[in-house]
Amino acid sequence: MIEKLAEIRKKIDEIDSQILKLIAERNSLAKDVAKIKNELGIPINDPDREKYIYNRIRKLCKEHNVDEDIGIKIFQILIEHNKFLQKKYLQETQHKNKKL
């Protein structure tokens, strides 16, 4: 029984590692998005795109039998963090450009 618990926990640890890698990959795209938006002169915040993502997440939650509220909460955190990273990146590049 205790061995079975250890085996399940090993699987959970592996899944957690995968989730974290994917979060890092999602976060790493923030710079690229921020650069393009800055060049196009459009805002970081895009409520229409967020609406699309939340609807898609709701659908995926249903398909995979994941609680919708949990799915939405997770993506709210990821999206807010992505916007924070975009703002941080733009502030840093603007700061660097001022120094030049």
Ligand X SMILES: C=C(O[C@@H]1C=C(C(=O)O)C=C[C@H]1O)C(=O)O
Pick the closer one to ligand X by CB: 71 or 83. 83
CB of 37 to ligand X, least distance (A): 7
Is residue 43 a contact partner of residue 37, using CB atoms and an 8 Å limit?
A: yes
Pick the closer one to ligand X by CB: 50 or 68. 50
Q: Which string of DSSP letters, residue by residue, matches 18-38?
A: HHHHHHHHHHHHHHHHHHHHH
CB of 75 to ligand X, least distance (A): 8
CB of 6 to ligand X, least distance (A): 36
Q: What is the DSSP letter of 43?
A: -
Site residues for ligand X per CB under 6 A: 33, 44-46, 49-50, 53, 79, 82-83
Distance CA 54, CA 74 (A): 11
Pick the closer one to ligand X by CB: 9 or 56. 56
Q: How many alpha carbons lie under 13 Å from residue 57 in its C-beta half-sphere?
A: 18
